Amino acid sequence: MFATTHDVAQPASGPTDDARASSDLNTQQFAAVHHVGSPLLIVAGAGTGKTKTLVTRVVRILDEGADPNRVLLLTFTRRAASEMLGRVAAASDERSASHVWGGTFHSTANRLLRNFGSSAGLPEGFTVLDQGDSTDLMGLVRTEAGFGERSKRFPRKETIASIYSRTVNGQAKLGDVLDTSYPWYADHIEALKTIFTDYTARKRRHQVLDYDDLLLFWRGITVGPTGDIIGNLFDHILIDEFQDTNPIQCDIIRGMCRTGDERPTDVCAVGDDAQAIYGFRSATVQNMWDFSDHFPGATTVTLDQNYRSTSPILDAANAVLSQTPVGQQHFGKELWSDRTDGRQPALVTHHDEGAQSRAVADAVLDARERGMDLRDQVVLVRSGHHSDHLELELTRRDVPFVKYGGLKYLEAAHVKDLLSLLRILDNPSDELAWHRVLRSIDGVGPSTIRRLSGELDLGRDAPDPHDDPLRRFVEGQGRFPPAATEQAAELRSALSDCGDRMLSPAEEVNRLTNFCELVFRNRYDNADARLADIDQLAATARSYSSRSRFLTELTLDPPAKTGDRAGPPHLDDDWLTISTIHSAKGGEWRAVHVLHAADGNIPSDMAIGDSEGLAEELRLLYVALTRAKDELSVHVPLRFHANRFGADDRHLYAQMSRFIEPVRDYFDEVRSADHAPDDQTIELSSVGVTEEVDILLSSLWE
């Protein structure tokens, strides 16, 4: 059961019915909005009106005369910040709302470091690497150090970047991180230390910061010579999704707050420890549990009235969460709703994954026939590949879908090619951007890149601003092989035009597209579709007057790329959403299908045996269940085939999720229509397999 760690605050004198009606707040929301006099933690359960409460608190602060320039609202996505500030503007003076500092931790860090970074030794024109570029740079350092040429397996660049980020964001010793999360690489600790040291030196030499640096330098300036100035910038600080903060972010908030004087900073954090699911990103729910230790005298207000789901759905979700392991504390709350009607959640068992896919497709189409749009339905999976079989079934039935949780738009290779060109214009010392652009040219391989790097002097520690690599390149330095003549000439011309003509970001993208067209035709399939993405990037750039700001905002909060739809969108522009549970957090749908609720999937087999990991997996399932408004189905295949799409019948039997088995009474148990009878052996139909293969093949050329 829940462990209550803090008292729930009540307003000193309860609001009148008229006051509550005028503000459309319940008692707990009213207490959270109007609380003053001490730090405030709002424990906001799923669907309890967290955003409305936070927005109304900001409106109240502004209406009482606060300087909007001294109000900071921190969120984890730019979309969340934009939505909140838009609602603040609609409910108060729009001009005041536009002056509120609202954004993600990383975007706010960038903004502050542009103003105060010199006190931390940062150059004025530093460039921010996105996560993909950071990984590539780590790989470059790894290769040059010769660690990838050993006979013994050495971690890949993606793993090295993950180890680095977890060490930095978790503020943990490298040895402890390896022992806890990567014990099979513990023998490589000295090599990793070398790589991390070289990686840091490489960034400093080329005036680039990665995501982790933004937070580290922000924390640094709060305790450095400018600490008093930074700590006096804001009178009100509000933090959304506080359970998702890491140790550095918590230190930053503490460093930004004045304490013990006559005007202490008004700090308000909002979160839900029951939805803390980002431990793999070094987020720690302990920050939320220790809020009153970080901010003495803090008051806690709990929001537990749910406005999203029906009571049967909430009963099931509460029952799942009540299994929280001993030692994993939670704030005491149990979600409830006035929506006492609604059908019981369904617990559906299936013969195998194929039966699950067919049953889910049937249910989705049946709901559509009942008047529920596809866009009001979602299929949730623990990992992206868990929906592979279902995607084939939806394709066969011409059900359009969009998948979240896979490749991001800015992670696509062709988009990164274009952005690397812009980064060279913005920071001619950006070695990684140069390497990406050079290797995209025909006939240019690793040895040519090394030679060109030397001829352009890319490794110079402090390049002369009047003789930087970009200037040398457009003036003709750098010898290319004959096969690269046309593309190299176009690249020189495009970079020269962008550097000399003072073009806007959108105009620069358009000018660079000519080079991209030359390269994409030979480098990528579907060149036309990829060039269309570049056109979309140009459209996005039209709202920016500064290239630096355009690059930085794209890097810090990139737009997501949805997965391919099963065929062209219908005229009514309706489609089903398939999403990982992590990507679905914050969303809501009328009908929710949770797939593969079997041990090894939910919870993940990587978490079994780790008490903290198991507790987070439990919270992950809780997040999935609380996305549902009206209908909830949890699906359990009883067999998993060794060859998911093959003709043999080798399989393993699955065990229902340990989180679902004890609370089955809260579900209506159903066996799917093509479930195998207990006394019947089902042989895989060769006709069915042939049909699946033919459909898959035909989809490749239609």
Residue-wise pLDDT tens digits, 350-368: 988 889 999 999 999 999 9
Greatest mean pLDDT range, 42-56, 75-89, 389-403, 529-543: 42-56
**147 pLDDT above the threshold of 60:** yes
pLDDT at 690: 52
Give the H or E element holding residue 531. Answer: helix 527-541
Which DSSP string do the residues of 611-677 spell out, in sequence order? Answer: HHHHHHHHHHHHHHHTTEEEEEEEEEESEEESSTTSS---EEE--B-TTTGGGGGGSEEEE-TTPPP
Task: Give counts: helices (H), strands (E), the chain.
Answer: 29, 17
Q: How big is the CA angle at 104 (ends 334 and 122), to the nearest 5 degrees?
A: 145
Whether residue 576 has pLDDT greater than 60: yes
Residue 557: the pLDDT is 60
The mean pLDDT of the chain is: 83
Q: Is residue 481 scored above 80 in pLDDT?
A: yes
Please state, in angstroms and rounded to a whole number, the distance separating the CA atoms of residues 154 and 184.
Answer: 10
Note the pLDDT tens digit of each residue in 10-50.
333 343 333 333 358 999 999 999 999 999 999 999 999 99
Q: What is the pLDDT, as a whole number, of residue 654? A: 80
Tokens 């707990």 belong to residue: 28
Give the integer Cα–Cα distance in Å for 335 and 272: 12
Mean pLDDT of 655-675: 88
Would you say residue 393 has pLDDT above 60?
yes
Q: Is the pLDDT of residue 183 over 60?
A: yes
Beta-bridge partner residues of 404: 579
Single-letter amino acid, residue 17: D
Q: Which residues contact 166 (CB under 8 A, 6 or more apart)?
A: 172, 177, 181, 282
Range scoring the smallest mean pLDDT among 33-42, 67-76, 414-423: 414-423
Average pLDDT over residues 299-306: 96
Range ranked top by mean pLDDT from 12-21, 130-139, 258-267, 331-340: 331-340
- Residue 635's closest CA among 627, 625, 644? 625
Q: Which residue has the higher pLDDT, 649 or 276?
A: 276
**Minimal CA–CA distance to 583: which of 617, 616, 560?**
560
> What's the mean pLDDT in 663-676?
82
Q: What is the mean pLDDT of residues 516-534?
A: 78
So what's the pLDDT on residue 572?
52
Convert the pLDDT of each residue in 434-468 to its tens digit.
989 999 998 898 889 888 988 888 866 555 556 68
CB 362 within 8 A of CB 333: no
CB proximity list for 329: less than 8 A, separation 6 or greater: 3, 5, 289
* pLDDT-based confidence at residue 566 (cuts at 50, 70, 90): very low
**Cα four-point dihedral sign 515, 520, 526, 529:** negative
How much is the pLDDT for 239? 96
Q: What is the pLDDT of residue 504?
A: 87
pLDDT at 182 over 90: no
Using only C-alpha atoms, what is the Rg of the chain? 27
User: pLDDT-based confidence at 694, cuts 50/70/90?
Assistant: low
CA dist 626 and 588 (Å) reads 8
Phi, psi of 670 (to 5 degrees): -135, 145
**For residue 222, is pLDDT > 70?**
yes
pLDDT at 556 over 80: no
Measured CA to CA, the distance from residue 44 to residue 7 in angstroms comes to: 14
DSSP helix/strand/coil, 77: coil
Q: What is the mean pLDDT of residues 80-95?
A: 83
Dist CA 402 CA 566 (whole Å) = 8
Burial of residue 236 (number of CB atoms within 10 Å: 0-12, 13-18, 19+): buried
Specify the higher pLDDT residue, 130 or 236: 236
**3 state DSSP class of 592:** strand
Q: What's the confidence (pLDDT) of residue 249?
A: 94
pLDDT tens for each residue of 149-161: 655 678 888 889 9
Give the C-alpha separation, 561 to 403, whole Å: 9
CB 292 within 8 A of CB 314: no
- pLDDT band with cut points at 50, 70 and 90 for residue 693: low
Q: Are 175 and 291 in contact (CB under 8 A)?
A: no
Taking the C-alpha atoms of residue 505 and residue 351, their distance in angstroms, rounded to an integer, is 55
- Give one DSSP letter per residue of 288-304, joined into a string: HHTHHHHSTT-EEEEE-
Lowest mean pLDDT among 35-39, 213-217, 556-560, 689-693: 689-693
User: 13-27, 525-539, 680-694: which has the minimum mean pLDDT?
Assistant: 680-694
